[in-house]
Chains A and B, each alone.
Chain A
């Protein structure tokens, strides 16, 4: 089968894809199977990093960099920060469900999301365009092509997203700073998390 694939794709690309793909799947399994929350978070870093490698293999250099800087560098670090600060880094007992029927419902919702993704990836009514393919033969670099597409064709969605993030930040700050709420140790990390979203 590998011979068959190798005729379609260049061998270095194939090797990179296989290694990174395995790392993605192993990391994803680790996130749900590890008992310790910190180990789960680290598996997630592995998945995110391997996805960045896949991006580089696709010549999407900017996406790869942003993937690591934002997800691995800010978001998962803050997960870890909260886990460490709240001291929930204990192994959890997974024998019994917290809510009755939790697991079947979880499987059901995963199924629904899976079907939804499949449906959305076929249509184009969300963004109005069926994906923007950047050409690799263009004289402009990947970063320039991406910037042109974001700041011309998709300027409105881009700005709307930034406004959305600011609303989230302001909302979180307002919630945290209500004077009638008893202060709890969770206050600090929550504040930090919202600040990182600004990036």
Chain B
């Protein structure tokens, strides 16, 4: 049952109750945080675009999301005639459920003692740990893919074909940068990943994985995760200027609300996962007062920074073109994460080997980029020759 000390003395009624309470609290907090996140995103975006944003419902428009949710709830639930009914109904749940479940493995605080039991402040700490994130993100691909296909309509299908290729490609880079974290932490468990980051270099630089791994895996993970959850600038899945609304064009009412919920919940959970993997998660100095509250506070502050970062990126960056997206994924992120993984593995053995591999990687990388450049040139040559000769079919 994982390494939570709660289960070390067998499963009793009190233990089951504590688990239930943790699940309900995590569920409620996640829902409320999504409500706030949508409001926060709209407010910050409007500030950046020099307009007011939601300001009617509640103080500062903070209840706007609630009002929108109510509105969606009472709207007509349409199912297109050409839709595959079962698949169409199934898809939103396949999107939402993984988004909820990923949060279960995020440690939101330290270890607490409650009613004579010791427990970790996270819903589950399974031995497979961070692999659960990859499992769930590979399931959530189905939500978007099936939504597009099941709608029985042109634009959603295009959106979902894009989504499938995009999410499958970036999953590889994501997995490889997680592998670097696992390599240096020596454990898959998220709790162990956090505890391995406690401490400082030279007394003031925190021993975060961000610094211990070099910044490269973090950047790769950040980009891959942004692509994985289809946030701007990687939101080609629902590019409204090309695809109407992308995969959720045909969805209305509560089913649409579920997709919306899933997107923002993914933003919250993935920010939390980034904090856990690279920024020490729920760890930090205790300044004053009760010791158990500070890890939670540090966790919230760090996650908040990333939530702001995502809004900022959305406001600042234009959407990528599809071929740029694929080039970035396959030709930059995956080779870079593989090479960096090799370097880190070498550094684990000895710094000489690490630097040796570093030099080797630089030389090989240069050769590879040169080779792909020449390959691209010859492709262009063949292409132009094929066109001038009037033959089709040469790529």
Contact = CB atoms under 8 A, between A and B. Distances in A.
B393 A65 contact: no
Given A61-B126, A143-B128, A183-B395, A77 B141 contact: yes
A199 B172 contact: yes
Contacts of A65: 128, 131-132, 134-135
Given A65-B134, A69-B135, A199-B172, A80 B128 contact: no
Nearest to B140: A73
Given A74-B138, A177-B395, A143 B188 contact: yes
B245 interface: no
Nearest to A199: B172
Interface string B131-175: 110110111011001100100000001001100110011011001
A141 interface: yes
Contacts of B138: 68-69, 72-74, 77
Given A84-B160, A192-B165, A77 B142 contact: yes
B175 to A, nearest CB: 8
Chain B, interface size category, equals 35 or more
B395 A195 contact: no
Contacts of A89: 149
A72 B137 CA distance: 11
A192 B330 CA distance: 11
Interface size grouping (class) on chain A: 35 or more
A17 interface: no
14 contacts: A65-B131, A68-B138, A73-B141, A73-B168, A74-B168, A74-B171, A80-B149, A81-B164, A84-B145, A84-B161, A192-B168, A195-B169, A196-B168, A198-B172
Given A61-B128, A61-B131, A183-B393, 6 more contacts: A39-B87, A64-B128, A68-B138, A73-B168, A81-B164, A85-B161
Interface of B: 84, 86-87, 126-128, 131-132, 134-135, 137-139, 141-142, 145-146, 149, 157, 160-161, 164-165, 168-169, 171-172, 175, 188, 330, 382, 392-395
